[in-house]
Amino acid sequence: MTPSFLLVLVPLLPLLAAIATVIGGRRLGARAHLPAVVGIAAAAVVALSLLVVTARSRGNAETPRPIDVVAPLWQWATVEDAYAPASDSHAAVPGTAVGEDAYSARPFSISIALRLDPLTATMLVIITSVGLLVAIYSIGYMHDDPGYPRFFALVAMFVFSMSMLVAASNFLLVYVFWEAVGACSYLLIGFWFQKPEAAKAAKKAFLVNRIGDFGLAVGVFLLWLTYGTLDFHDTFSPDGTILPGILGQTRLADVSGYVGGIVGTAICLLLLLAACGKSAQLPLHVWLPDAMEGPTPASALIHAATMVTAGVYLVARSAPLFMACPGALVTVSIIGTTTALVAALIGTVQNDLKRVLAYSTISQLGYMFACLGTGTLLGFTAAIFHLLTHAFFKALLFLGAGSVMHSMGGVIDMRRFGGLRKLMPITATTFLIGSLALAGIAPFAGFFSKDEILASLHSKGWPDVHHSAENEHHALIPDLPSTRSRSGAMHDVGYRGVSGDNDHSNSKKASALVGLDALNQPAVWKTLFWMALVTAGLTAFYTFRAVFMTFTGPLRIPDEAGDHAHESPSVMTTPLLILAIPATLIGFVLFTTEGLAHFLAATPSFTAPSIVETATASVFHWDLAIQGTLAAALGIVIAAVGHLGRRSDGPQLERWLGPIRPFLENRMFIDQLYAAVIVKPIEAVAFLAAIFDRSFIDRSVRFFAHLPLALGSVVRRLQSGVLQRYALAGVIGVLAIIVFLAWRL
Amino acid sequence: MTTLLLLGTSLALLQNGLVVGAILFSLGLVGILSRRNLIVMFLCAELMLQGISVSLVAWSRYHGDFGGHVLVIFVLSVAACEAAIALVFVLQAFTRTGRLDSSAWQSLRETTLDRSIDHEIPSLDTSMPSFPRLTPAGRSPDTDEQAGMQREHV
Amino acid sequence: MTLFVHLFAGTGTFEFLSPGILLAVAVTCLAASLYLLLPKSGRHGKTSRRVGWLIGLITLGLFIATGQRLGNLGDEAVFLIVSLVAVVSAVATITCRSPVYAAIWFALCLAGVSGVLLVLGAQFLGVATIVVYAGAILVMFLFVLMLAQPSGLTTSDRITNEPMLSAVAGGVLLGLLSLSIGRLSAEEPLCCRPPSKAAALGAATVEKIPTESVDLLTSDQVARLGGELFGRHLVAVEAVGILLLVALIGAIAIVSNGLEGSQVETSSLHEGSRS
């Protein structure tokens, strides 16, 4: 049982489960969940064992040694001599010269290869474990649904696609499964396709994701043009030379292995566009709130815990590329922080429980992007850390919301029910745990990850403070290949691309690029930090607003629930209880042992010299923790003032907002803006095109269709059915031929 | 007879024979294309065959070879076969339509077209055919004159 | 058309007319006369038929006048008479309204044809034509007519399909045939060119055919024809015998099967019958 074999098993088992469900789902009937649950459970066990294997192979060494196991399965396609860079490409794209041999003509080979490294192992565990709990939960939630087998087939298919996405060792393969998870998401959002809202939401999600996928496609093309390969890992050419992969050890070890400048920034921004689409960041966030039309377990799995984090994964995986482009990094942070703040603001006035959670998801994903953009090892690990904790507590919250919805007869409007804590104690308790984790209250999971995020932002905003703090702990990180001073490192990488350009037009663009790079100022970072801190407070507010409105105050039950309002069955509450454990403990455990940070540091992507040299000792920032907790506490207090107890049914708080309220309730009119700016013009063009199509193209086609008819109606008269006329025609023809030949002779 | 046959330039005889054959063939063709009575159409087909026979024999004479003669014998045989089968078909056609008119069969026409109908039919020649009259001699027979005149047209 | 055959070359009768024009006139006259003679709708009485006969006779006269001289007046007279009988009665066959008359004219035509055959030196065939056609086939036709049309002339006999086009087609055909016949010359007989080496190699049987001319006009001609028929062409004779047998059986089979379905008379087939 080699690691690579186990690695193949993780996606394979859900795939087999999906196929089995598709084939035998109808026959299994009410037991159609069995293949999916068993397959995902087995995959979860394998993923856990893989995590252990990876962690052991890291050993006890303090120095981050890259760990990766690549399992090449087969060659998908090979085109010989596809990559033949022009001779002056070195001048045009500086910093690409890893070795002259590497840039000779090479084949375009797409290898189906899976990789195992700490990042992949972590993601696999998240995907399969949350997937398993959601699948179990769905047994109760989805029972008696006519599409019961279809749901489980899709869930298993999604787990397969997502595992492949995080395990793929090739950008093209990543793209394939990027689309695959998008397809699964589309199918699950539109699961109840009879509902027009669901069908519309699915269409919207699909179309908005198209934009991001377009960015990924172009980004992949640019990557191929720039690096001549799409593999993450190093490969060997037939004559034994190493072809450095984009994230391979060879290129990572080379300080000038990554392209900066315009091309590098373009690649990074395109990848960021893809990530924005999938992870619902501004300005492509509009699909996620509508995606809540899907079944709640699917929302929990795909639109909260796993798929939407694919963007975070992609940026983290491409960290060395981003490190070469400081402008792109700042853009990541700015987008992330802005999204976090905007989504949190909108979330404060939503009355739909699932929408609150959806905006919360967008906001938390914005957090992750914010700290990814810091470009420090702390930032990257913090993002993955928050991804991990968020996956658990947000899945917990969603499943809790699903439980409420289940017992309320499908009603999810918080104004129509309240005081449910007596009615559904388990759901209330676990939901409260999840809310505490989300709000960032110690010692729940979210507190620690949010603290790290704030710390990473703070370290960029106030570099001097951290510089000194870091010096104290420098002894802990020996043998760093620190070749240049930290403060100048990133600018240096960025400017190499610019200085290599002698072309006039390029230098103009370069000046624009400097403008993007110029955002990399402590002042900007300070602003971002304060925005993040405000977001923390808002997060706590809307979370507890939801808790208070739903679970406190006098008991109110909507008519739809009837007499069936009750605590959910144990098959639904058990996953809630299980998820509550990591939501409570995982942050504390991983933070205090620093296990995750050290583990993730061994990911090849994070071992680039430019990242390693940003490593700092993890310290607990008391000041930041206090600030974060204060913000959260303030938010909770305001929520309590507005909604606790009897006031839970009154919109007193909203009244305070005054004119901002309709602005926020309408989601800042972003959907309307898109409708006016993008959809309406396209519709107008489509209308004109339709007129053109009907009046010109259709008519010309009909004309050509009528032409033979008209000709035929003339010639048809010859078909009189009188035999002798036919004979006469034949004789005339023969005579004509004879006359023609005689004339020729 | 023998003197006659021995005389004449061979080529001239051939050409004359071929011209006669060609005329017969062409007349048969005109008949088969225009006449509507099935029996007459077959007569015309036979006429064309006669033209062929004459041509074949002329060639045979010209080349001093029996091949043409043999071929004409075969043509005669095949014409006999053809006549037998064709007459059966004519009878079948007649039993189905009650007519010997080839234009009675128009099922092959386009569905949108009407049957082609003869709009203008020349009136029947009502004048009495003038049969030759023999000078009566001997005892007058007891035949019914009226019955004999029932068929105006033969 | 530059290779116009000298169909009427050497006749000397119509030197002032080029053979091509003569031929065109003859063909046009033939077509015109046939058109006039064919029964058709519209006004068409005895006058037009007489005009048709007149033009037809002029045409025949043209053909006779321009025909090859056989060298002997007696021969020419005999050939002329029998071929005139054949051609004129053939014209009558196709133009006669009554099918019965047409059949009788056809019998006369057969007599003429047998005369032509005799002139051409085919004694057996001349007799056989009379016996087989006039004696057997024609009688069969008359029987069928008697069975099918006991009431005599029907409307469809008084009218023809496309008389104009048919006559023109026939005339053009005759013109083309005459052209190619006129192209024949003694120096270069078309069919007696020595076969090329490749053709000879390709077909070994070609060499077996005796190329020397035999005199057909000996007294034992019928015996030699029989020898030829049952010698070289024995297989073909057997095949024709089988064909006759098959035709016999087939005719019987069709009659007996057809009688069962004889009641299938669709009204649509009758719809034009009374018009």
Residue A110, helix vs strand vs coil: strand
Residues A275, A212 contacting (CB under 8 angstroms): yes
Give residue A272's pLDDT band: very low, low, confident or very high (50, 70, 90): very high
Q: Length of chain A in residues, anyone?
A: 745
CA atoms within 13 A on the CB side of C102: 32
C10 vs A585: which has the higher pLDDT: A585
**pLDDT recorded at residue C217:** 67
Q: What is the C-alpha separation between C45 and C50, in angstroms, rounded?
A: 9
Tokens of B38: 């099935």
State mean pLDDT over A46-74: 77
Q: What is the C-alpha separation between B62 and B74, in angstroms, rounded?
A: 20
The domain ranges of chain B are: 9-103
Comparing CB atoms, the residue among A720, A723, A728 nearest residue B102 is A723
Chain A positions with Cβ closer than 8 Å to C: 722, 724-725, 728, 731-732, 735, 738-739, 742-743, 745
For residue A69, what are the β-bridge partners?
A116
Of A229, A228, A222, A342, the C-alpha closest to A271 is A222
Chain A residues whose CB is inside 8 A of the B103 CB are 722, 724
Q: Which of C94, C104, C240 is the best residue to mutate to test the B interface, defined by the most B CB atoms within 10 Å of its own CB?
A: C94
Q: What is the C-alpha separation between A606 and A239, in angstroms, rounded?
A: 30
Q: What is the C-alpha separation between A565 and A435, in angstroms, rounded?
A: 23
Q: What is the C-alpha separation between A374 and A72, in angstroms, rounded?
A: 33
What percent of the residues of chain B are helix, what percent strand, and what percent coil, each to the nearest 5? 60, 0, 40
**pLDDT recorded at residue C193:** 46
State mean pLDDT over A73-82: 78
A727 vs A656: which has the higher pLDDT: A727
For residue A108, what are the β-bridge partners?
A79
Chain B residues whose CB is inside 8 A of the A728 CB are 33
Of A238, A235, A239, A236, the C-alpha closest to A247 is A235
Window 34-53 of C, Cβ < 8 Å to B: 34, 38-42, 44
Kindly calculate the radius of gyration of chain A based on its CA atoms and give it in whole angstroms: 30
How many other C-beta atoms lie within 10 A of the C-beta of residue A492?
16
C214 vs C25: which has the higher pLDDT: C25
Tokens of A83: 């990559």
Least confident interval from B52-66, B126-140, C203-217? C203-217
Residues C156, B36 contacting (CB under 8 angstroms): yes
Give residue A94's pLDDT band: very low, low, confident or very high (50, 70, 90): very low
The domain ranges of chain C are: 211-259
Comparing CB atoms, the residue among B33, B113, B115 nearest residue A724 is B33
Residue A295, helix vs strand vs coil: coil
Query: Which positions ≥6 away from A734 have C-beta within 8 Å?
Result: none
In our burial notation (b when 16+ CB lie closer than 10 A, e otherwise), range A314-327 reads bbbbbbbbbbbbbb
**pLDDT recorded at residue A506:** 44
Give residue A294's pLDDT band: very low, low, confident or very high (50, 70, 90): confident
Write out the H or E segment, with its range, that includes residue A82: strand A69-83
CA dihedral A707, A710, A715, A719 (to 10 degrees): 120
**pLDDT recorded at residue A743:** 79
Distance from CA of C188 to the nearest CA of B (A): 11
State mean pLDDT over A375-381: 86
For residue A78, what are the β-bridge partners?
A109
Q: How far is CA A98 from the centre of its chain?
A: 31
- Top mean-pLDDT range of A175-189, A563-577, A583-597: A175-189
Return the sign of the alpha-carbon dihedral for residues A468, A474, A479, A480.
negative
Tokens of C76: 């020419």
Does A715 contact chain B (CB < 8 Å)?
no
Q: What does the mean pLDDT of chain A come to? A: 81
Cis peptide upstream of residue C195 (ω within 30 degrees of 0): no
Tokens of C188: 């270069």
Give residue A184's pLDDT band: very low, low, confident or very high (50, 70, 90): very high
Residues A116, A50 contacting (CB under 8 angstroms): yes
**Cβ distance of C155 and B118 shorter than 8 Å:** yes
Chain C residues whose CB is inside 8 A of the B18 CB are 177, 181, 184
CA distances from C269 to A276, A665, A725, B87 (A): 79, 82, 18, 20
Comparing CB atoms, the residue among B29, B36, B107 nearest residue A721 is B107
Query: Which positions ≥6 away from C252 have C-beta within 8 Å?
Result: none
Tokens of A374: 């810091």
State mean pLDDT over A380-400: 90
pLDDT at A160 over 90: yes
Least confident interval from A100-109, A489-498, B3-12? A489-498
Comparing CB atoms, the residue among C93, C166, C191 nearest residue B33 is C166
Classify residue A678 by its DSSP letter. I
Proportion of chain A above pLDDT 90, given as a percent? 21
Q: What is the C-alpha separation between A648 and A667, in angstroms, rounded?
A: 22
- Top mean-pLDDT range of A206-215, A547-556, A645-654: A206-215
**pLDDT recorded at residue B150:** 62
Of C84, C81, C96, C89, the C-alpha closest to C110 is C89
Give residue A244's pLDDT band: very low, low, confident or very high (50, 70, 90): confident
Chain A residues whose CB is inside 8 A of the B110 CB are 716, 719, 721
ipTM: 0.79
Residues B62, B13 contacting (CB under 8 angstroms): yes
Residues C140, A702 contacting (CB under 8 angstroms): no
Comparing CB atoms, the residue among B32, B33, B116 nearest residue A720 is B116
**pLDDT recorded at residue A513:** 55
DSSP string computed for chain C: -TT---TTTT--TTTTS-HHHHHHHHHHHHHHHHHHHS--SSS--HHHHHHHHHHHHHHHHHHHHHSPP-S-HHHHHHHHHHHHHHHHHHHHHHH-SSHHHHHHHHHHHHHHHHHHHHHTT-HHHHHHHIIIIIIIIHHHHHHHHHHH-TT---GGGG--SSHHHHHHHHHHHHHHHHHHHHT--SSS-GGGSPPPHHHHHH-THHHHS--S---TTSTTHHHHHHHHHHHTTHHHHHHHHHHHHHHHHHHHHHHHHHHHGGG---HHHHTTTT-
Give residue A66's pLDDT band: very low, low, confident or very high (50, 70, 90): confident
**pLDDT recorded at residue A715:** 84
How many other C-beta atoms lie within 10 A of the C-beta of residue B100?
24
Q: What is the C-alpha separation between C167 and B30, in angstroms, rounded?
A: 6
**Cβ distance of A728 and C179 shorter than 8 Å:** no
Tokens of C218: 């000996």
**Cβ distance of C161 and A725 shorter than 8 Å:** yes
**pLDDT recorded at residue A500:** 37
DSSP string computed for C137-149: IHHHHHHHHHHH-
Q: What does the mean pLDDT of chain C come to? A: 76
The runs of H, that is alpha helices, within A482-521 are 486-499, 504-517
**Cβ distance of A724 and C3 shorter than 8 Å:** no
A511 vs A593: which has the higher pLDDT: A593
Q: Which of B48, B101, B113, B114 is the best residue to mutate to test the A interface, defined by the most A CB atoms within 10 Å of its own CB?
A: B113
Least confident interval from A34-43, A151-160, A667-676, C107-116? A667-676
Chain B residues whose CB is inside 8 A of the C236 CB are 70, 74
Kindly calculate the radius of gyration of chain C based on its CA atoms and give it in whole angstroms: 24
Chain B positions with Cβ closer than 8 Å to A: 29, 32-34, 36, 102-103, 105-110, 112-113, 115-116
Of A661, A651, A665, the C-alpha closest to A416 is A651
**pLDDT recorded at residue A179:** 93
**pLDDT recorded at residue B119:** 66
For residue A168, what are the β-bridge partners?
A114
In our burial notation (b when 16+ CB lie closer than 10 A, e otherwise), range A434-449 reads bbbbbbbbeebbbbbb
**pLDDT recorded at residue A265:** 87
Does C28 contact chain B (CB < 8 Å)?
no
Q: What is the C-alpha separation between C194 and C209, in angstroms, rounded?
A: 12
Looking at chain A, which residue has its C-alpha nearest residue B26? A731
Write down the architecture of domain B9-103 according to CATH: Orthogonal Bundle (1.10)
C257 vs C211: which has the higher pLDDT: C257
Q: What are phi and psi of A106, to 5 degrees?
A: -140, 155
**pLDDT recorded at residue A512:** 54
What percent of the residues of chain A are helix, what percent strand, and what percent coil, each to the nearest 5? 75, 5, 20
Of A361, A378, A218, the C-alpha closest to A291 is A361
Looking at chain C, which residue has its C-alpha nearest residue B50? C113
Classify residue A114 by its DSSP letter. E
Does A720 contact chain B (CB < 8 Å)?
yes
CA distances from A442 to A365, A623, A632 (A): 20, 14, 10
Chain A residues whose CB is inside 8 A of the B33 CB are 724, 727-728, 731
What's the distance, Cα to Cα, between the start and end of chain C in Å? 47
